Amino acid sequence: MSKRLSDCRVTVVGLGLMGASLCMDLVQGHFCREVRGVAHRTETALRAFFADAVDQATTDLHAGVAGADIVILATPVRTIVSMIEELGAILWPGTIVIDMGSTKGEICAALDRLPTGIQPLGAHPMTGKEQAGFTAAEPGLYVGAPWVLTPLPRTSPAALALVTELAQAVGARPFILDAQRHDRLVAAISHLPFLLATALVHAVADTGEDDPMVWELAAGGFRDTSRVAASDTRMFMDILATNREAVLAQVDAFDAHLHELRTLLAAGNEADLAAKLTRSQQLRANWRKK
Amino acid sequence: MSKRLSDCRVTVVGLGLMGASLCMDLVQGHFCREVRGVAHRTETALRAFFADAVDQATTDLHAGVAGADIVILATPVRTIVSMIEELGAILWPGTIVIDMGSTKGEICAALDRLPTGIQPLGAHPMTGKEQAGFTAAEPGLYVGAPWVLTPLPRTSPAALALVTELAQAVGARPFILDAQRHDRLVAAISHLPFLLATALVHAVADTGEDDPMVWELAAGGFRDTSRVAASDTRMFMDILATNREAVLAQVDAFDAHLHELRTLLAAGNEADLAAKLTRSQQLRANWRKK
């Protein structure tokens, strides 16, 4: 008989925004037998424990994962990759290992090198906010969020079913994709927007060097368009480094459209400029109205 | 003795998002003697009247402005410019004329051609949302918003004081700038973000042609960064056409930063890439915390 989520001891490694928010939901909903948190810093482990975000907290990875049915890696992408190498030697057979990383190619390759008997599965819950760390964590973060699952050929249907149950328990909407397809899509909708927001902040900062009034006047258009530039730098360095080719392709696709807009504006070609603006206006206004 | 706002008959021409929201605030706060609205369509005039958004409503510009102490032009920028030409012949001496246009150069030039005796003053309340029209209007839209005032050399201190009182009455924060400085700053913080959001929607749509799943997965990063692309096309056509040089300069400044980010990523220069990301992360995270 296959295992149910309510029978499982779940260990979340990394108690930042994503990991700690998930722990809070799992604890408050009583979805698992036990929720353990592994933090890098003692202070974070203590805070999580005394905030009742976890049932148990430790800074010791080996102790944290011992006896766990499901291990969830919730650190920056390249830390996940190196942690998978470390975990291979210590996990019990039958353990399900998933991650919450924002890119999937390198992580799934590392997961596939885990010893036979361990059940790996890539995962990426697509939510968050620009604040990072345990202090930004909150229950309900995953409600309504797409949660991509990238099973490997070796992933068992039972493991996939259990992780799907976990994602749905916290209110997320699971989607099953392969790693390459995931990485191409998130390059367009997440990594490209981050780079645009970053370049926008630099452009406005240049204007602000001459005239600091620009920061006083900046209103909704700047606020929304630049918001993701405030995201954690280390997290995004790992994302960009592990999804470089797909990101560069999206930057080039964007750049072609921006140049077309620039050319139409410079030439005073109002008919074609209006047609191009109308198309994106309608696409964006109708998104999610379907 | 100088006139006070509470003595004034105010006529707002254009009952879209900006004009109708202002009328609602003026009526509900009893800040003026009378609030009249001039709409292009009979239906809008009737809706505004029966929603108590205005004390009087008409579709007749001449009737609407007759006897007004303050006339506020709240239409797209190039309609404002042509309306100023038309108003010159019919306004009473002493009338204050302001506008709510998003660019100020061409409007202030037109305002300066009004007959002597009329008191013109450029104005731009910097708020809004991507929905347009009377149905999107709401009280309180101006609370906390920067409201730029661009007086002409001929603008009297009394007219400037009265319009400042009006902006503050609805909760806005007045800033006095010249038209050229205004137009340069809004190119950076408003018009550039609109073009970036527009090009982003087109880039994502290209990806969506091959894989419509991209629209399902698009989450917060895309949502925020692309939001202003849903803005009214006609409004933005007028903005771009009347601020072309400043907008092109900002597109080029942005493009230089995006290309630098692209080059650093392609070369795997993590130290310099991280330094550039850290700078914008800090600028954006600390904005408005001062």
Residues A247 and A192: beta-carbon distance below 8 Å = yes
- Note the pLDDT of residue B81: 96
DSSP, collapsed to helix, strand or coil, labels residue A11 as strand
The one-digit pLDDT tens for each residue of chain A (290 residues) are: 578 999 999 999 999 999 999 999 999 999 999 999 999 999 999 999 999 999 999 999 999 999 999 999 999 999 999 999 999 999 999 999 999 999 999 999 999 999 999 999 999 999 888 788 999 999 999 999 999 999 999 999 999 999 999 999 999 999 999 999 999 999 999 999 999 999 999 999 999 999 999 999 998 889 999 999 999 999 999 999 999 999 999 999 999 999 999 999 999 999 999 999 999 999 999 997 65
For B219-229, how does the pLDDT look when each residue is reduced to its tens digit (9 = 90+)?
Answer: 888 999 999 99
Interval B22-40: pLDDT, tens: 999 999 999 999 999 999 9
Interchain proximity B148–A265, CB inside 8 Å = no
ipTM: 0.91
The rounded distance, in Å, linking the Cα atoms of A215 and A212 is 6
Class for domain A5-177, per CATH?
A: alpha beta
Per cent of chain B over pLDDT 90 is 93
Q: Exposed e or buried b for every residue in B21-44, given b needs 16+ CB within 10 A?
A: bbbbbbbeeebbebbbbbbeeeeb
Is the CB of residue B35 less than 8 Å from the CB of residue B71?
no
Q: What is the pLDDT of residues B125-175, one digit of tens each?
A: 998 887 889 999 999 999 999 999 999 999 999 999 999 999 999 999 999
In chain A, ranges of CATH 1.10.3660.10 domains? 182-286
CB proximity list for B154: less than 8 A, separation 6 or greater? B112, B116, B119, B120
Please tell me the predicted confidence (pLDDT) of residue A3: 82
pLDDT digits (tens, 9 = 90+) for B197-233: 999 999 999 999 999 999 999 988 899 999 999 999 9
* The token pair that represents B73 in the structure block: 């032009």
Domain B182-286, architecture per CATH: Orthogonal Bundle (1.10)
Counted across chains A and B, CB pairs separated by less than 8 A come out at 270
Does the beta carbon of A269 lie under 8 angstroms from any beta carbon of chain B? no
Pairing of strands B119-125, B96-99: parallel
At A78 the pLDDT is 94
Mutate to test the interface with B, among A173, A175, A210, A225 (most CBs of B within 10 A): A225
Paired residues of B96 in beta bridges: B70, B119
Residue B66 host element (H or E): none
Q: Which residues of chain B are in CATH 3.40.50.720 domains? A: 5-177
Residue B1 has pLDDT above 60, yes or no: no
Look at residue A132 in the predicted model and tell me its pLDDT.
Answer: 84
Q: Quick one: pLDDT at residue B52? A: 95
* Shortest alpha-carbon distance between residue B176 and chain A (Å): 11
Chain B nearest CA to A229, separation (Å): 6
| CB atoms B225 and A222 under 8 Å | no
Question: B230 vs A281: CB contact, 8 Å cut-off?
Answer: yes
- What pLDDT is recorded for position B219? 81
**Are residues B217 and A274, on separate chains, in Cβ contact within 8 Å?**
no
Mean residue pLDDT across chain B: 95
pLDDT tens readout for residues B37-81: 999 999 999 999 999 999 999 999 999 999 999 999 999 999 999
Q: What's the pLDDT score for residue A131?
A: 84
pTM, two decimal places: 0.91
